[in-house]
Amino acid sequence: MSEDLDPAVAELLRQFMEERIPFNTWLGIRAAELSSGFARLELPFRDELVGDPLRPALHGGVLSTLIDTAGGAAAFTQVNVPGDTLSTLDLRIDYLRPGELKTLAAEGTVVRMGNRVASVNIRCFHPDEPDRDIATGKGVYSVRRAT
């Protein structure tokens, strides 16, 4: 977050994350905050996201999707060149506790942005308990430059 993200670029990224990726749209992922090197995404709870109806708890795949998407979004805030793309190379997730049946949030922070690889730390939590992580992650993303 060392520099501001152009508001027009932030809006394009928000639209891309929320409206152009069908899986994100189906899940209901929303970009709550985007700045250079940082992304905060939120995912409202729906019954379809339950993975353990006995506990009850959210599906681990929902957590991993939100973590991966937040990491990619954070990295993308530092790409800023039309035509550049990102792909997940590696994603490590530590599940710390079950996700409750309520809104999730994930924050990605770029640790290093190179010419070909971005490294991002990600945390997942409930917005009403911001200091109690549900899972943490480390994402490594391939950066493919258009030029």
Q: Say which CATH number the domain at 14 has.
A: 3.10.129.10
Question: Which of helix, strand or coil describes residue 18?
Answer: helix
Residue 118 above 80 pLDDT? yes
Domain count of the chain?
A: 1
Domain boundaries, position 96? 7-144
Determine the Cα–Cα distance for residues 140 and 118; give it in Å rounded to an integer. 6
- Please, which residues have CB within 8 angstroms of residue 32's CB and are 6 or more apart in sequence? 40, 41, 42, 105
Among residues 122, 106, 118, which one has the least CA distance to residue 43? 106
For residue 20, being part of any structural domain is answered with: yes
Domain membership flag for residue 54: yes
Q: Look at residue 80 in the predicted model and tell me its pLDDT.
A: 63
| 2 occurs within a structural domain | no
Classify residue 34: in a domain, yes or no: yes
For residue 1, being part of any structural domain is answered with: no
**Per-residue pLDDT tens over the stretch 19-68:** 999 999 999 999 999 999 999 999 999 999 999 999 999 999 999 999 99
CA–CA separation, 41 vs 73, rounded Å?
9
70 inside domain: yes
